[in-house]
Amino acid sequence: MQPDGPVLGIETSCDETASALLAADGQVLAEAVLSQQDHAPYGGVVPEIAARAHLDHLPRLVADVLARGGASPAALGAVAATAGPGLIGGLLVGSGFAKGLALAHGLPFVAVNHLEAHALTVRLPGLVPGGVDFPYLLLLVSGGHCQCVSVEGVGRHLRLGGTIDDAAGEAFDKAAKLLGLGWPGGPALERLAAAGDPHRHPLPRPLLGRPGCDFSFSGLKTAVAHLLAREPAARPADVAAAFQAAVAAVMADRADHAMRMFAATHAARTLVVAGGVAANAALRAALAGAAARHGFTLHAPPLRLCGDNAVMVAWCGIERLRRGLTDPLDHAPRPRWPLESLAA
């Protein structure tokens, strides 16, 4: 089923309030992302503050996107909103707003899985010449998620491995906090690491060389804390560079194992990295090297589409609509929603 008008996407799963309008063929007509700044004093996202901020800003963002995209609510082909996983307060705000629009104007509603939206971003027309075909191997790395997935199709995902403790983005933020960089810490740590020596402080590479493609970052984060306690005069840039190098090495090693697993059952040789941490240049370089060694082609979204955004939500909605997949207005948002459960 091809949408008979542009599709509005809404993203409110964490601390970004976002809206986007895409034509039925995937052309981005307008987009907006508001990154909340109210959480910095707390060193992390406060769910209640995030939900209230979504409630305050979402109506204005949607109205702005519709105006810039030249569409009225009645002219929409559908409304898609993130319905999980994420912080339940924000999910209720975004999906509730989307359902209200759908109900008022008789529009189809699509409840989007946030992880699938990240997974399908590289299929957005114009990002990759010819588009990325199914199947492909996905390394999804963000503040809350870290997993290797065989993406077989829309709604068809096979998890090959994942984190057994912290996600990569969470580890970046915690290491940055230990270095006094504030929040969000990942981008600040990357900037600081550019001026450091990654070999000055040897740090552990958790699970390096182990079978499978699971991840563990809790021990690495603890090693940074012990290093700073043991050497309070350590140069912060060197510590940041060492931490970033350790994460990149682990990621490349885990991707190496995942590519072997994927290649054993698939002829395709495509590796996709997505999620907020996919914006890290050191990680991209390490994964590009690993992909080249296995004869894989590495694809990653442009930087603006690595973090949480509504373009990916609207596009995921279009992908699902094309397959006749819509959701009832009583669909309940869920804080936990594993990718592999979509097949049901």
Class for the domain spanning 7-121+305-343: alpha beta
36 vs 258, more confident: 258
In this model, does residue 43 exceed pLDDT 90? no
Which H or E run includes 296?
none
Side-chain-side CA neighbours of residue 78 (13 Å): 30
In this model, does residue 39 exceed pLDDT 80? no
Is residue 7 helix, strand or coil?
A: strand
Examine domains 7-121+305-343 and 135-300 and report if their fold is the same: yes
pLDDT digits (tens, 9 = 90+) for 67-92: 999 999 999 999 999 999 999 999 99
Q: 178: closest CA among 222, 238, 244, 230?
A: 222
Q: Are 279 and 303 in contact (CB under 8 A)?
A: yes
Cis bond before residue 204 (omega within 30° of 0): no
pLDDT of residue 29: 98
Q: Taking the domains of the chain in order of start, what are their residue ranges? A: 7-121+305-343, 135-300
Cα 298 to Cα 113, 192, 273: the distances in Å are 24, 26, 8
CATH of 135-300, one of 3.30.420.40, 3.40.50.300, 3.50.50.60, 3.30.450.70: 3.30.420.40
10 Å Cβ neighbour count for 343? 11
Q: State the pairing for strand pair 270-274/156-162.
A: unpaired
pLDDT of residue 118: 98
Rounded Cα distance, 281 and 224, in Å: 21
10 Å CB burial of residue 49 (0-12, 13-18, 19+) is middle
Rounded Cα distance, 249 and 260, in Å: 17
